Amino acid sequence: MHISHFIDGPRGMKYWNWRYNMEQLINKQFVAKRFRESLESYHKKAVIQERIAGVLFPKLVEIFGFNYDRILEVGAGSGFLTQQIISNLNYSELVLNDLYPVLTNSYKNVIQKPGDAEMLDFPGNYDLILSTSTFQWFENLQKSLLRFTNYLNHKGVLAFSTFGEKNLLQIKEITGKTLHYFTLAQVHDLLAKDYSVVYEDEMEFTMCFRTPYDVLKHLKQTGVNALGNFRWTRSKLSEFDMLYNSNYKCNDDCLLTYHPMFFIAIKE
């Protein structure tokens, strides 16, 4: 398995006859369960998520520096961004949020606040709210972005990544299973109501695997397929294998696309 530049695959293949759309059905408890189950393998296999944190954090520091008072990280489960914050930023308090407690070690001035970030209150004023690879799970992104303004100081910073419409496009094309993804322009417009956007960008990464079954194994190991408790049968696996090999193979590699988008904005 390796990462390469994005290579566009062919379109128009037949969907499975058991295709169903999951855009409106996000069971967050199931999502949390799948991430907990995959946490041990996540740090070894989630190379894209680690790379995303490696893009957002340096850009934040480049623009706003290292010094903040109170910081909130939303969706801290992976730990990639958390370790960057703890190791590099100066702060008086860091609040870590995920659907479940994320840290096994105790750190000075670090507080855990588990729960659904769309429902929880985060009292107090923060200088910085960060998140990577989490906002795509939100049921109402516009409402959440507005709520975060209530927790930020004036001129407080919101820095986050989410995913765009081409994310896991091979899985969507074959199975119809997908989240509701926004375009870069759509997220910009949502932010523009309450924030001044100082940085935005999008990238496409393609991971290459030996077989379609390795693609499914990767999704399971990273928890990013936590949309539904679908039961795989031998016939469905066989059809998945056939469609993937027919439509998304290049130089003997099976391709899987990630489409991260990055935003850094100031509360107005």
For 131-158, the pLDDT digits (tens) are: 999 999 999 999 999 999 999 999 999 9
User: Please, which pLDDT band fits residue 38 given cuts at 50, 70 and 90?
Assistant: low
What CA–CA distances, in Å, run from 250 to 41, 134, 243?
27, 30, 14
What pLDDT, on a 0 to 100 scale, did the predictor assign at position 117? Answer: 95
One-letter amino acid identity for 76? A
pTM confidence score:
0.85
- Dig out the tokens for 219 from the structure: 């999704």
What average pLDDT does this structure show over 256-268? 97
User: Please, which pLDDT band fits residue 224 given cuts at 50, 70 and 90?
Assistant: low
The number of folded domains in the chain is 1
Which has more confidence, 72 or 4? 72
For 226-243, the pLDDT digits (tens) are: 445 567 789 989 999 999
State the average pLDDT for the chain: 84
Q: What is the DSSP string of 138-199?
A: -S-HHHHHHHHHHHEEEEEEEEEEEE-TTTTHHHHHHH-----PPPHHHHHHHHHTTEEEEE
CATH of the domain at 246: 3.40.50.150
Which range, 36-40, 121-125, 156-160, 216-220, is most confident? Answer: 156-160
What pLDDT, on a 0 to 100 scale, did the predictor assign at position 93? Answer: 97
What average pLDDT does this structure show over 217-229? 68
Which has more confidence, 133 or 177? 133
Residue 75 belongs to what domain range?
2-267
What pLDDT, on a 0 to 100 scale, did the predictor assign at position 104? Answer: 60
Residues whose CB falls within 8 Å of the CB of residue 25, separated by 6 or more in sequence, listed in order: 227, 228
